Chain A
Amino acid sequence: MYAARNIRVKAGGKLIVDDASIALAPGKVVAIVGPNGAGKSTLLKVLAGERRPNEGVVTLDDVALRQWDAYALAKRRAVLPQSVTVAFPFLAEEIVALGVPQYYPRGEGQELTARALAEVDMSFAAAQTYDTLSGGERQRVQLARVLVQLWANGGKGYLLLDEPTASLDLPHQLATLRIAREHANAGGGVLAVLHDLNLAVMVADEIVALKDGRVIATGAPADVVTDGLIRALYDVEARVCGVPEGPFLLPQTIIR
């Protein structure tokens, strides 16, 4: 269990995350949604251990996150940031192989690397320099690296994704969400910051809606994603319908 309770984060005198709580269980996909600047990424960074909250506590496997060292933490959770720039001309496969733990058997590490590249549909670029790839391709390479880190540590760790679909085309958005879903089905836990509510509804078991740093709704997509929530989150008048299967969203008019 991965849990954050009553998290407050201040920066520059401003409250970015305000008394937010969130829990992530193995086997589940939780999506954080909300407008720009709602504190979604900050909350994810707090869970990742990258940022210390001013108040509140994060626990992983019932142990406070402060007590985990970087090495032990990396065995239990992996993090996909929004975008990663690499300082030196590494090849795509070398980037992916950085997910392999240092003392892992070499041959198995190579197998995992090749498998992860295939999983994100990037095998063709294995020997290309990372810098020469497009934004979406880089994001897929980073996802492969993160998958290798999870697989090499038993495959049941927590996966934290910060806008994993932002720079991807439609088929790869769907592929990324399928990967997240399969990871949860295999016993891992997934927390994803997502902008596209339709994608969030498709993949998530639970949606956490964040506005101005506060959690304004939590629950199953069908219960949470309503006309009222869209209005409250975005000031957008939209009608949520159940056309294909599950809730479905059409932005229509803008208030004001």
Chain B
Amino acid sequence: MLKVHRDICGYCGCCVSVCPEGALELIDAYLSVEKNCTSCGICAKVCPLGALEVVNEK
């Protein structure tokens, strides 16, 4: 699943623009992740700060 490191996120919306599923939304200073996120990791790659991480569910 996609983990948002909220202490690192600068809520800029860079990730929202590349999400192929439309699963991310920037609501002012809060990045929202919808259920249709496929954990593809594209957002984690482009994040300028490294605030997003795909972690394995256990």
Bound together: no
